[in-house]
Amino acid sequence: MIDHLGISVSNFDASKTFYDQAFAPLGASLLYMVPEQYTGGVKVGGYGRERPMFWLHEASPTGPGRHYAFSARSRAEVDAFHKAALAAGGKDNGAPGLRPHYHADYYGAFVFDPDGNNVEAVCHAPE
């Protein structure tokens, strides 16, 4: 149902570094930067696998309380996402593992990004 979404980040370069590393295990990368002549000089870039679906927009306000979950194709991708996100400066908010209170095969991991957003990778497939 969601075609794409975007979040505000306080420091585009720091967030780009974080998401570049955190999304690599999921097969996603920065695919497009909007030319600043169309954004009033603000940095705006979109991540995805085949097309930009998750956008960073340098602006305020930012902060905790927002949650974004990204699909992983395997549990190994969830594990790799969590490891990469922590290495990129993210803060742990839930190690990789089953969350059977959602459903029997819900395997997810959670980290806080540089602005305090709760970012998750999740695989719904059985092992």
Mean pLDDT of the chain: 94
Does 59 score more than 90 pLDDT?
A: no
pLDDT band at 63, cuts 50/70/90? Answer: low
As a whole number of angstroms, the distance between CA 22 and CA 30 comes to 11
Does 12 score more than 90 pLDDT?
A: yes
Rounded mean pLDDT of 10-23? 97
Radius of gyration for the chain, computed over Cα atoms and rounded to the nearest angstrom: 14
As a whole number of angstroms, the distance between CA 113 and CA 47 comes to 15
Rounded mean pLDDT of 38-53? 95
CB 112 within 8 A of CB 89: no
As a whole number of angstroms, the distance between CA 23 and CA 16 comes to 10
Amino acid symbol at 34: V
Strands 54-58, 91-92: parallel, antiparallel or unpaired by DSSP? unpaired
